[in-house]
């Protein structure tokens, strides 16, 4: 009787721990797809997803009864703290210091909980991660597709930003439940990896992939399409000797003409907008390496080139400490003439922290690459998924400023999680032997 009670209580403990792991993962995914602002307190923007995480993460940690602190995450947090706060010590901006401190603390705590959640049971955790990421992506894609012709309103976009989402008369850039179409495109693009590694049935994979493509098209994001192409290439390269790689390669070859034909069915105004964004890629490099600023009307690609050049100029003048967290837009405005961030995670870190920002960037890029090569013999689905996701997010950092986003921590959390899980598993096997 005592033995039965012990086994039953042990099973309840395991189920609760797994539930805690899933709760943390779900709260993280929710934050990536939903942006609902609730107001501002002491310079800090409160949102629904942050409130959910505030309650979900501590409870998840309590249920998991696991609090392993990874030294790499801790060291990265320290470097990020120096990058964020060191410059602010020399300017009297108490509110910004408080907001920057909260960004560091909440970012690290979220990464810490997610690290424990994923590494608790890597296979179950990654499958749960993939399942809910796909579900949120499919729903967001459908909403974005309906938002494009104006059938569904831009739910969470502030009124003063509504006109920035216009494409042409009657058409807008879909955002799903987010505020920025480019960030939604990133979340949707990452779904491709989850679909082809975790979704069973090739036909269902194709249907889901088509829905995601429609969602990315609805955002009119060049980056989203580029990231999808990158993941397809990576998945094919990682599975050259498997049926999965051959199937995806053939499907993608047949898909491109269909997508081109689909674009021709759109109204001429929308086609003109797509053409402008496609040709704008060339103008980006022209402006970036030109000594003279463009005259007349400036496209979005040219604006990004101006922002990037201005960010480098501001960073050089703010060397060696940088301008500090939450100061980059105003620092760039002095050179660009308009207020915006650099739209590049690595340049943003350089501008924020100067020397400390460079060290933070080197660690941020170095750890995922080191783990990818050191675990190269690992042929599991989990490792293949994590490697593809990490490379994709790092590439996305060239086009978006992810520094203040919780997704920013994922390229560190996932490789460290699989490394921790593999180490604990090998220790368990050696002890049983």
| pLDDT per position as a tens digit, 150-184 | 899 998 888 777 777 777 667 899 999 999 999 99
Q: Which long-range contacts (CB under 8 A, 24 or more apart) does 179-182 make?
A: 179/35, 181/144, 181/219, 181/220, 181/221, 182/219, 182/221, 182/223, 182/224, 182/399, 182/400
Nearest to 407 by CA among 318, 345, 330, 356: 345
Give the 3-state DSSP-derived string for the chain, with helices as H, strands as E and coil as C. Answer: CHHHHHHHHHHHHHHHHHHHHHHHHHHHHHHHHCCCEEEEECCEEEEHHHHHHHHHHHHHHHHHCCCCCCHHHHHHHHHHHHHHHCHHHHCCCHHHHHHHHHHHHHHHHHHHHHHHHHHHCHHHHHHHHHHHHHHHHHHHHHHHHHHCCCCCCCCCCCHHHHHHHEEECCEECCCCCCCCHHHHHHHHHHHHHHHHHHCCCHHHHHHHHHHHHHHHHHHCCHHHHHHHHHHHHHHHHHCCCCHHHHHHHHHHHHHHHHHHHHHHCCCHHHHHHHHHHHHHHHHHHHHHCCCCCCCCCCCHHHHHHHHHHHHHHHHHHCCCCCCCCCCHHHHHHHHHCCCCCCCCHHHHHHHHHCHHHHHHHHHHHHHHHHHHHHCCCCCCHHHHHHHHHHHHHHHHCCCCCCCCCHHHHHHHHHHHHHHHHHHHHHHHHHHHC
- When pLDDT is cut at 50, 70 and 90, the band that residue 414 belongs to is very high
- Residue 217 gets the label, from left (phi > 0), alpha (psi -120 to 50) or beta, of alpha
pLDDT at 348: 96
Among 20-34, 292-306, 400-414, the minimum mean pLDDT is found in 292-306
Burial of 49 (0-12, 13-18, 19+ CB in 10 A): buried
Q: At what angle do helices 410-432 and 122-147 cross, to 10 degrees?
A: 160
Kindly list the domain boundaries of the chain, sorted by start residue: 1-67
**Can you tell me the distance from the alpha carbon of 343 to that of 84, in angstroms, rounded to the nearest whole number?**
17
Nearest to 156 by CA among 174, 181, 178: 178
Q: Using one digit for the tens of pLDDT, what is the confidence trace for 40-49?
A: 665 566 777 7
Q: Given the DSSP bridges, would you call strands 37-41 and 44-47 parallel, antiparallel or unpaired? A: antiparallel
Q: Using one digit for the tens of pLDDT, what is the confidence trace for 110-129?
A: 999 999 999 988 999 999 99
Residue 153 has φ and ψ, to the nearest 5°, of -70, 160
CA angle 301/308/277 to nearest 5° reads 10
**Can you tell me the distance from the alpha carbon of 209 to that of 11, in angstroms, rounded to the nearest whole number?**
38
- When pLDDT is cut at 50, 70 and 90, the band that residue 1 belongs to is very low
pLDDT at 263: 64
CB atoms within 10 A of CB 247: 16
- When pLDDT is cut at 50, 70 and 90, the band that residue 8 belongs to is very low
- When pLDDT is cut at 50, 70 and 90, the band that residue 11 belongs to is very low
Question: Per-residue pLDDT averaged across 3-7, rounded?
Answer: 38
Residue 177 contacts residue 33 (beta carbons within 8 Å)? yes
- CA–CA distances in Å: residue 237 to residues 227, 240, 250: 15, 5, 13
Looking at the whole model, is its pTM more than 0.85? Answer: yes
Among 63-77, 221-235, 250-264, 359-373, the minimum mean pLDDT is found in 250-264
Question: Per-residue pLDDT averaged across 252-269, rounded?
Answer: 67
For 28, the token pair is 């993280």
- When pLDDT is cut at 50, 70 and 90, the band that residue 358 belongs to is very high
pLDDT at 190: 96
Residue in the block written with tokens 């002890």: 431
- When pLDDT is cut at 50, 70 and 90, the band that residue 12 belongs to is very low
Among 205-214, 339-348, 395-404, the minimum mean pLDDT is found in 205-214
Hey, which of 66-70, 91-95, 257-261 has the most confident mean pLDDT?
A: 66-70
């Amino acid at each position: 009787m005592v033995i039965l009670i012990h086994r039953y209580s042990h099973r309840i403990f395991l189920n609760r721990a797994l539930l805690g792991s899933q709760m943390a993962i779900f709260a993280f995914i929710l934050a990536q797809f939903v942006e609902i602002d609730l107001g501002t307190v002491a310079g800090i923007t409160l949102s629904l997803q942050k409130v959910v995480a505030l309650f979900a993460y501590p409870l998840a940690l309590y249920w998991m009864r696991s609090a392993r602190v990874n030294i790499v995450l801790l060291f990265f947090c320290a470097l990020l703290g120096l990058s964020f706060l060191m410059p602010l010590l020399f300017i009297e901006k108490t509110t910004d210091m408080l907001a920057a401190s909260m960004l560091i603390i909440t970012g690290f705590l979220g990464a810490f909980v997610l690290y424990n959640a994923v590494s608790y049971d890597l296979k179950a955790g990654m499958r749960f991660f993939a399942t809910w990421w796909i579900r949120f992506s499919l729903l967001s894609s459908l909403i974005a597709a309906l938002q494009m012709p104006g059938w569904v309103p831009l739910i969470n976009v502030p009124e003063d930003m509504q006109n920035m989402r216009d494409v042409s008369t009657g058409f807008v850039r879909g955002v799903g439940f987010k505020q920025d179409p480019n960030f939604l495109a990133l979340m949707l693009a990452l779904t491709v990896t989850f679909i082809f590694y975790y979704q069973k049935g090739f036909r269902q994979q194709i249907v889901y992939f088509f829905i995601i493509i429609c969602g990315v098209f609805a955002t009119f994001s060049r980056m989203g399409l580029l990231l999808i192409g990158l993941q397809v290439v990576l998945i094919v390269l990682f599975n050259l000797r498997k049926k999965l790689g051959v199937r995806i390669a053939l499907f993608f070859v047949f898909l491109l003409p269909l997508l081109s034909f689909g674009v021709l069915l759109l109204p001429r105004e929308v086609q003109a907008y797509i053409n402008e964004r496609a040709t704008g890629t060339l103008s980006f490099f022209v402006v970036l390496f030109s000594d003279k600023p463009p005259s007349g009307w400036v496209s979005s690609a040219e604006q990004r080139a101006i922002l990037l050049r201005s960010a480098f100029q501001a960073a050089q003048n703010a060397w060696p400490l940088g301008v500090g967290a939450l100061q980059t837009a105003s620092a760039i405005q002095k050179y660009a003439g308009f207020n915006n961030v650099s739209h590049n995670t690595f340049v943003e870190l350089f501008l924020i922290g100067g020397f400390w920002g460079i060290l933070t960037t080197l660690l941020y890029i170095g750890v995922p690459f080191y783990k990818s090569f050191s675990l190269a013999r690992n042929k599991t689905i989990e490792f293949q998924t994590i490697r593809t996701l990490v490379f994709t997010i790092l590439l996305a950092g060239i086009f978006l400023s992810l520094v203040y986003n919780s997704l920013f921590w994922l390229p560190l959390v996932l490789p460290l999680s699989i490394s921790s899980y593999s180490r604990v598993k090998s220790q368990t096997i050696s002890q049983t032997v």
